[in-house]
Structures are given as C-alpha cells and as structure tokens.
Chains A and B, each alone.
Chain A
Amino acid sequence: MKTIKQALKSANDGKNQDIKSKFVAQHVFANVNSLVEYCLKNEDPNSPINFDMIENYWFYPEFNGHFVKFDGGSEDKKQEEIERAESLLELGDAEFTAEDQALIQDELQCLKDLESEPSEIFEWWLISDYLFDKLRDKGYPIIDFSNGYLWGRTTTGQAILLDGIISHICAEMGILEGQENAWL
C-alpha cells in the first residue's frame, strides 16, 4: 500500500487524474465568480456575502529563524509557535546560553511583529460541505454562507483536479491508485 507521500508523487498520473476528476465532479459544483465578485465589490449592507465572511483570507508569511520556525498560516498557527518559543525561553540557563536566549528573544519578537497578508483569490467555486471542511482545516480561503459553501481558489487556468490541494485531500482519503481505498 502506498503512503500519502508515495501517492502524492504520482498524483497526476493518468489513473489518478481519473480518480481526482471523479472527486472534483462530486465535490465542486459550480463556478460562481461573477456572483461573488459582484457581492464583494458593491459592499451592499444587505449582501449575503461580504469580505468579513471570508475565512483564511489573511495569512501570515513564513518565518525561519534559528530557534523559531513558522511555516506561515493562520493566527492560531502563529500563536502556537509563539507559545512554543516562549516555552523555550522558560527553560532558561539550564538549556541555553545567554547568547542563544537573546537570539530566541529577538526571533520571538520578529514572529510577533509579522504582518498578515491577503490571499490572492482568482476564482470562486460552490463546493460540498466535505470539501469545505477539508479546505478550512488546511487554511484555504472559504466562505460559509446561508445557501452553501464557497472556495476562493488561489490558482487559475489549470484544471481543478491538478491543484495540489486536491491531490493532498485525495491522498489523505487514501483513494489514489495503490492506496487502501483506491477508487478504481
């Protein structure tokens, strides 16, 4: 049986493209670009969709220090790393030299000072609740509004099944070729 990592290496092979195509057909319903952009642009207070409803729209860039390492992402993920770095500082002289402690302190401050950036959304798609949950967990821009679930896609011009996130989700479900739940 292929692991997730092994399956991802061949995620765009012919059979896997067929599998991902079926997945996309089940979970991605329609392009609603013009509808969503119209709502977002007009800032009508009665609009069913507005910018404040976009989850994961703002994200923090990565920070790679010697002790403090942040892969980028949401406020929660940044906070996790801040707490980890603070726990390193609490170890104090027992684990770190004075120089190292100063370095951790500097890096921690840099991490705290990181400013968030907006996602670059090219397309809006109406999607299933299942795909919505997966995208939300992985920090992709989404909107939960009264009539459905929307995905703010950050790629464009290629088939949705070729998006890395679709491959990741399918590999985690174990449905790619050679995996335990392979859709063949």
Chain B
Amino acid sequence: MKTLTTDSFEIAYETYLHNIGKLILFDYKFVWSEMGFRYIVKYRL
C-alpha cells in the first residue's frame, strides 16, 4: 500500500484521480492553522 499525505489539495486530488481503481482512502484532517489541512490518499501499489 502507498500513502501520500500532503498539504496540497491539488496534489491529493491528482493522486486520487490517477489511482481511483486502487483507492483505499481519500480523506483530510485539519492540523492547525499554520499547517492547515493534510490530505491523505491511500492506494494499493
């Protein structure tokens, strides 16, 4: 399994689109304001 944790929605969404058939998780969480959001994409290799 490959995990991408990014602070960029664009990168997360692009990864999501490229791995849609292998997707396990597409989620986000708020870390704190200066760090902002973290987007998490998990997919099967």
Q: How far is the CA of A165 from the CA of B10 in the complex (A)?
A: 16
Select one of A62, A119, A156 contacting B5, CB under 8 A: A156
Structural contact, A154 and B4, CB atoms closer than 8 A? no
Task: Tell me what chain B mostly uses at the interface: helix, strand, loop, or mixed.
Answer: strand
Structural contact, B5 and A164, CB atoms closer than 8 A? no
Contacts of A73 in B (CB 8 A): 32-34
Residue of B nearest to A117 (CB): B32
Contacts of B32 in A (CB 8 A): 59-62, 71-73
Contacts of A181 in B (CB 8 A): none
- CB interface residues, A 60-77, toward B, < 8 Å: 60-62, 71-73
Residue of B nearest to A61 (CB): B32
Contacts of B36 in A (CB 8 A): 164
Size band of the A side of the interface? Answer: 20 to 34
Q: Could you mark each residue 151-184 of chain A with 1 if its beta carbon is under 8 Å from any beta carbon of chain B, else 0?
A: 0001111100011110000000000000000000
Contacts of A122 in B (CB 8 A): 5
Q: Could you mark each residue 11-32 of chain B with 1 if its beta carbon is under 8 Å from any beta carbon of chain A, else 0?
A: 1000000000000000000111
A-B pairs with CB below 8 Å: how many?
57
- Nearest CB of A to B3, in Å: 6
Structural contact, B3 and A72, CB atoms closer than 8 A? no
Known interface pairs A71-B34, A139-B34. Does A157 touch B6 (Cβ–Cβ under 8 Å)?
A: yes
A contact set with B: CB distance below 8 Å: 12, 59-62, 71-73, 119-120, 122, 138-140, 154-158, 162-165
Q: What are 10 A-B pairs with beta-carbon distances under 8 A? A: A12-B10, A60-B32, A62-B30, A62-B33, A120-B31, A155-B5, A156-B3, A157-B41, A158-B8, A164-B35
B contact set with A: CB distance below 8 Å: 2-8, 10-11, 30-36, 38, 41
7 nearest A-B pairs in the assembled complex, by CB-CB distance? A72-B32, A157-B4, A71-B33, A164-B7, A158-B6, A156-B5, A72-B33
For the complex with contacts A62-B33, A157-B2, A158-B6, 19 further pairs of A-B residues with Cβ separation under 8 Å are: A12-B10, A59-B32, A60-B32, A71-B34, A73-B32, A120-B31, A122-B5, A139-B35, A154-B31, A154-B35, A155-B38, A156-B3, A156-B5, A157-B41, A158-B4, A158-B8, A158-B11, A162-B6, A165-B7
